[in-house]
A = this chain, B = another copy of it.
């Protein structure tokens, strides 16, 4: 069974946009709304007003403190952004992106789409953790899309694709790693690379860290890959100090 994707709003500012997002989610049979640190707290009367009863109906909104917590159970993640970030990630329009997401969902992977705050969009570190970028074919002269409208276009494309023929080819043998496993792997990499002096010189350390995270997030790792890689890191970090047991 295909599980519909989660819509994750990171630090949304206006309750109106949260409510409008919930309403259009219901229009296209999406129900999993996740709010990371909404500015005005939760519940929010302005959101309720715009949601036209969907927040007490088909849409379940849950609040999280961090993006990490909000995506922990997902294994395929899109980040909606208008600005290229220099990450080496595939960028797709809504139609293609929802197709990719559906293919994963049909293979049993829980999936979601990250949307940033109204004023500034997603942080680089949030984009870095995604598998791919969702971008909108907006006019270059007027590219700033309202948050709820961005959710609407994704929801619409999700809805359109429902009922279409399944996309074959994503039925991996080993299930994809969850975002929590990926985050732990990136953490492990970072800790050991830090100890090894990899992040050098200091003025480049931050961007090196980000590019390690972006790379780890892009490799479509399986749960088995993560466990293999963590064993490899552990072994390498002990370096030649460790002798094989005899």
Contacts and interface: CB of A to CB of B under 8 A. Distances in A.
Interface stretch (A23-31, A61-69, A71-79, A104-112): A23-31
Contact of A235 (B144, B160, B198, B243): B198
Number of copies: 2
Contacts of A218: 225
Contact of A236 (B160, B193, B200, B219): B193
Contacts of A13: none
Nearest to A173: B88
Given A159-B138, A165-B140, A236 B192 contact: yes
B84 A142 contact: no
A168 B195 contact: no
Nearest to A202: B244
A229 B65 CA distance: 32
A172 to B, nearest CB: 7
A222 B88 contact: yes
Interface in A217-246: 218-222, 224-225, 228-229, 231-233, 235-245
Contacts of A193: 232, 235-236
